[in-house]
Structure 1
Amino acid sequence: PKVEEVKKEEPFVNPFAQPQQPQPQKPVGVAGRGSPVFDVLLAGFNLPPDFKSLPENVQKAHKDAVKLARQLAKDILLYHKDDVERGLASGNIKDVLKDEIEKSYKFYSQRIPAEIVNSTNYFNEALNKIICKGQNLF
């Protein structure tokens, strides 16, 4: 037979082989650092005026400080909801939550660089936004 007439054989297909699984795709819209979703978490916090021109590692330190401050405020709200409601209703939230706030602030100041702790109010801003529902009580 001529070379052109020879049919190419189909590759062998194992009838017992498992079907190939599709490769998992990377999640879309995950809030990674620098993404618009992550930057929304910074909205409303008083960042330094030159924040966008700061080195990336300093920006990350500020973002981490905001993130930790928010989480600590959420934890206080979660674990002391009755005290928060009582303090807001009676107008003495600082006195009611004094011990918890001091513990949280101590933890915050141990984890965040001193220059950020001393030059920003992220912790108080988080307390006002999350615990005090936007009121400036701290």
Structure 2
Amino acid sequence: MPTDEEKTKANRLARAIASDISLYNEEKIVKGLEQDNLFDALEAELEEGRDLYRSRVSQELYRTSNFFDRAVVDIIVRSRGHVRSKIWL
């Protein structure tokens, strides 16, 4: 069972990866939100980020937590609430 410290580190890693995706793909993110295809637009970047995350945390922690998905929503999606999109309706 993962320790609290391992969970904290995994959460930080997930947020760092999501932050990098956000930083380097602003135009894709905005366009994906506007066209309601964000996850398709970022498919390669999210897959690469998820693979990196998976390679750096234990298999058990990867299977039992959703830190990466939560970081994607918090950092990439929620922070763009100002972008006009159908998803906010």
Same fold judged by TM-score > 0.5?
yes
Q: Match for residue 132 of structure 1? A: 77
CA distance in 1 between partners of 2:19 and 2:34 (Å): 19
Amino acid at match of 2:27: D
1:82 is displaced (CA, Å) by 0.4
Q: Match for residue 111 of structure 1? A: 56
Instruction: Please tell me whether residue 123 in structure 1 is matched to residue 57 in structure 2.
Output: no
1:77-88 equivalence runs, <5 A: 77-88=22-33
CA distance in 2 between partners of 1:68 and 1:87 (Å): 24
Amino acid at match of 2:22: L
Task: Provide the secondary structure at the position in 1 that maps to 2:34.
Answer: helix
Instruction: Please tell me whether residue 71 in structure 1 is matched to residue 13 in structure 2.
Output: no
Q: Match for residue 43 of structure 2? A: 98
Q: Which structure 2 segments of 5+ residues have no match?
A: 82-86
TM superposition outliers: structure 1 runs of 4+ over 6 Å: none
1:87 is displaced (CA, Å) by 0.6
Higher helix proportion, which one?
2
Task: Provide the secondary structure at the position in 2 that maps to 1:133.
Answer: helix
Q: What root-mean-square deviation, in Å, do the aligned CA atoms of Structure 1 and Structure 2 show?
A: 1.9
Task: Provide the secondary structure at the position in 2 that maps to 1:129.
Answer: helix
Count of matched residue positions in the alignment of Structure 1 and Structure 2: 81
TM-score (norm 2): 0.84
| Percent identity between the two aligned chains | 30
Q: Which structure 1 segments of 5+ residues have no match?
A: 1-53
TM-score (norm 1): 0.55
Bigger Rg, which one: 1
